[in-house]
Amino acid sequence: MRSFKKLYQRLPEEFIETISTQFEPRTLEKILAGFMVKRPVTLRINRIKTNVREVMEVFRRDNIKFERVLWYEDALIIRSHREKDLETHQLYQDGQIYLQSLSSMLPPLVLDPKPEQTVLDLTAAPGGKSTQLAALMKNTGFLLANELNPIRAERLKFNVERQGASIIEIQVQDGKRLEPKWNDFFDSVLLDAPCSGTGLFALENPQTYRGWSCKRLREFSREQKKLFEAAFRALKPGGLLVYSTCSLMREENEAIVDWALEQYQEQLIMEPIQLNLIGATLANPAPNTKGPKSLTVIPSELYEGFFLAKFRKTTCN
């Protein structure tokens, strides 16, 4: 791994020590390589306002080169322009497209909400996933987008209004302390949990990894469990819950899944994740694992590191 010398010098030593115990050498090498790549711009077409055919026609007219994403009709890869270029484009200004990483598009697709359903996005800002959920619901039904931070909630409100997602109600509240009126209320819940962000590490951007520590990792793990408890309470019997993070650490991912299944036992079961992520590199499942698996996406040229698990609630609180 001589080519990783600069990476070893820059990343926190305790991070390297920790992740080296969690992945086998070949997978670890792929992860480290993923920290060193520069990804192209990716975006999602907002079906509330337009469709992929119309957007492609505009891009061809404006000489914006794009590639289709085979597993998601509404996603495009842009290699000819930077984010700053696209942010000035009329399609972006009108809310017809939303700049979003491919990995962050996965949780709404896995949750797969239907029109007229009730959906909760428990930690919603800046709104990419909330507005994607609304589009998947054909902007019908009810979606509660909850956000703790008032400043981030303003950004969430801006994005929701720009994309015309009228079914979204924004609530500024601690997601761990939802009001009792929401108990057993939602058909689906998305918990894209705050995390240590290890799947987003980029060698050339020290801000992505400078503050990482095992102490912070433990803090996030405790927070994730409390948020999961709130998500579970809010979900109807028979409803679906998707738990996701942009982390690669077992303490925030598989350990949370194990804790949840132990905590709720017969009240919660795992569901299979059915996605054909062409071009993605996935971590191998744990040996001797039975039943549906969680999904760990390894950072690569197109994907940020990401973790997803899907559950169904079987009984009331």
The residues, any chain, with a CB within 8 Å of residue 133's CB and separated by 6 or more, are: 108, 111, 113, 119, 121, 143, 190
Q: 162: left (phi > 0), else alpha (psi -120 to 50), else beta? A: alpha
Distance of CA 38 to the CA centre of its chain: 19
User: Could you identify the residue written with the tokens 């007219």?
Assistant: 61
User: Could you identify the residue written with the tokens 């984010």?
Assistant: 83
User: Could you identify the residue written with the tokens 């971590």?
Assistant: 283
Question: Are the C-beta atoms of residues 103 and 61 closer than 8 Å to each other?
Answer: no
| Whether 246 is catalytic | yes
User: Could you identify the residue written with the tokens 């569901």?
Assistant: 271
Q: Which of 195, 214, 246, 316 is catalytic?
A: 246
- For residue 265, what is the DSSP state? G
Round to whole Å and give the CA distance between 153 and 189: 18
Rg of the chain's alpha carbons, rounded to an integer? 19
Question: Are the C-beta atoms of residues 254 and 298 closer than 8 Å to each other?
Answer: no
User: Which among 81, 145, 91, 87 is positioned nearest to 113, based on CA atoms?
Assistant: 145
- Residues classed as catalytic: 246
